[in-house]
Amino acid sequence: MRGDLRGDPADRGQHRRAEDQVLSRLDTAGSRLLVVTDDQNAGLVTPAVLQVLAGFDTVERVVGVDAPLDVVNTVIGDGGQRVPAWRITGGLEQAVRLTAGRWPRPGEALVAAAAMPRLGFTHPAGAVTDTSGRQYDVVGSFTARPPFETFNAGLVIAGDEHTPTRSVHVVVTSVEAARATEALTLLTLAPPDASRITVRSPTALADLQRAVQGDLGDYGRDLLALTLGGGAFLIAVVVLAEVLLRRRDLGRRRALGASRRDVATLVLLRTIAAAIPGALTGTAAGVAAAAAWADQPPADFTAATATLTILVAATVAVAPAVLAARRDPVGVLRTP
């Protein structure tokens, strides 16, 4: 008697892993970035506003960012190549990682490694000048943290604690929290005229994530149900066939004093005893195949699949077990 369910556990595990990968990619830092821009430079994005936003549970990181400036190596002057520089308030560590030198004080800058050759820097030290003639000392280098990779094209300048910036960049904790965070951000900024601000929100992506998650979940459940249903049918047929083949043996047990409960329990235990190694072997083979062809399925999914397989086998064996227990032992023994 076979107790395993038909169907490839590798396919089910691979689908679960694919679902997790799709959802994780939709939930990267870049997809969780909310940007609100003060188009009129009305002083809405103040350090105090950034501090309030940073205290929200749905906010992972928040910085204020000004429109980029064109800067050039001060030593080379106007003949040098210009690169962008962004003034950032709310803490540079929220947007970049320091790779050399020290963290800048207000008015000082860090340079990205990719921008150093264009500026003519051999080391992350020196000075740059913007188009208005203002000079910024460069005191180190950085690499941008997601989702601020744009900063890797130039420099970041530390802002002071009093000057507003043009836009606020909010990294929310999850795309599901995007809509609520957007509402809280606008409430905190309190713009006098909504037409004077521009909002770039991940709320559309949040809706997409929910749709994708629902579709993938429905497909996965349907696939699992189909696999388990087909396996359950085969197990029921096999158990019923065994009961019919062993009817004389079961009849003798009843004639010798075994109760109907004893007979039913015997059939169920035999089914479960065969289902356990079958489920474990099939799941192990599926995990090995998934590891060789794709990604390893999650451990909880693997354990749940094996457990569910055993439970389904035990459940579908109930009807044949009851049939065996209710048959007349005398009539069974007389059957040739």
Going by pLDDT thresholds of 50, 70 and 90, the confidence category of residue 7 is: very low
Does 184 share its domain with 269?
A: no
In a domain, 1, yes or no: no
Going by pLDDT thresholds of 50, 70 and 90, the confidence category of residue 17 is: low
Going by pLDDT thresholds of 50, 70 and 90, the confidence category of residue 2 is: very low
Pick 283 or 163 by higher pLDDT: 163
The pLDDT of residue 271 is 86
Nearest Cα to Cα of residue 262 among 324, 209, 199: 324
Pick 210 or 161 by higher pLDDT: 161
49-53, 95-99, 142-146, 203-207: segment of lowest average pLDDT: 203-207
Does 64 share its domain with 202?
A: yes
Provide the 3-class DSSP secondary structure of residue 192.
coil
Structure tokens at 273: 């005893």
Pick 98 or 216 by higher pLDDT: 98
Mean pLDDT of 70-89: 94
- 324 phi/psi in degrees, rounded to 5: -65, -35
Taking the C-alpha atoms of residue 24 and residue 299, their distance in angstroms, rounded to an integer, is: 17
Q: List, in sequence order, every residue forming a beta bridge with 127; answer none if it has no partner.
A: 137
List, in order, residues 6 or more apart from 75 with CB less than 8 Å away: 120, 126, 127
In a domain, 185, yes or no: yes
Mean pLDDT of 152-162: 93
Does 59 share its domain with 120?
A: yes
Q: Strands 59-65 and 83-89: what pairing?
A: antiparallel
Does 170 share its domain with 242?
A: no
Answer yes or no: are the C-beta atoms of 147 and 96 closer than 8 Å: no
Does 166 share its domain with 274?
A: no
Pick 133 or 18 by higher pLDDT: 133
Write out the residue range of the structural domain in which residue 125 sits.
30-208
List, in order, residues 6 or more apart from 146 with CB less than 8 Å away: 28, 29, 30
First-to-last alpha carbon distance for the chain, in angstroms, is 23
| Distance from chain centroid for Cα 48 | 32
Task: Return mean pLDDT, the chain.
Answer: 81
146-155, 187-196, 255-264, 304-313: segment of lowest average pLDDT: 255-264
In a domain, 4, yes or no: no
In a domain, 3, yes or no: no
Each residue of 270-302: pLDDT tens digit? Answer: 888 888 888 888 888 877 777 776 566 677 878
Among 190, 208, 226, identify where a domain stops: 208
Taking the C-alpha atoms of residue 277 and residue 270, their distance in angstroms, rounded to an integer, is: 12
* pLDDT over threshold 90, residue 209: no
Each residue of 19-49: pLDDT tens digit? Answer: 555 445 444 444 788 999 999 888 999 999 9
Does 185 share its domain with 294?
A: no
Pick 197 or 286 by higher pLDDT: 197
Alpha helices for 143-202 (secondary structure H): 178-189
Pick 178 or 221 by higher pLDDT: 178
Each residue of 110-146: pLDDT tens digit? Answer: 999 999 999 999 999 999 999 999 999 999 999 999 8
Does 241 share its domain with 173?
A: no
The pLDDT of residue 219 is 62
Taking the C-alpha atoms of residue 68 and residue 135, their distance in angstroms, rounded to an integer, is: 15
Mean pLDDT of 149-174: 93
Does 105 share its domain with 149?
A: yes
Mean pLDDT of 156-167: 92
Q: Which of 4-13, 63-72, 244-253, 315-324 has maximum average pLDDT?
A: 63-72
In a domain, 248, yes or no: yes
The count of structural domains within the chain is 2
Q: List, in sequence order, every residue forming a beta bridge with 172; answer none if it has no partner.
A: 59
The pLDDT of residue 215 is 53
- 110 phi/psi in degrees, rounded to 5: -115, 145
Does 159 share its domain with 134?
A: yes
Taking the C-alpha atoms of residue 60 and residue 68, their distance in angstroms, rounded to an integer, is: 24
Alpha helices for the chain (secondary structure H): 9-26, 47-54, 116-119, 178-189, 203-245, 247-255, 260-293, 299-316, 318-326, 329-334
Answer yes or no: are the C-beta atoms of 38 and 199 closer than 8 Å: no
In a domain, 104, yes or no: yes
Among 208, 239, 272, identify where a domain stops: 208
Structure tokens at 259: 């109760």
Mean pLDDT of 211-222: 60
Answer yes or no: are the C-beta atoms of 44 and 191 closer than 8 Å: yes
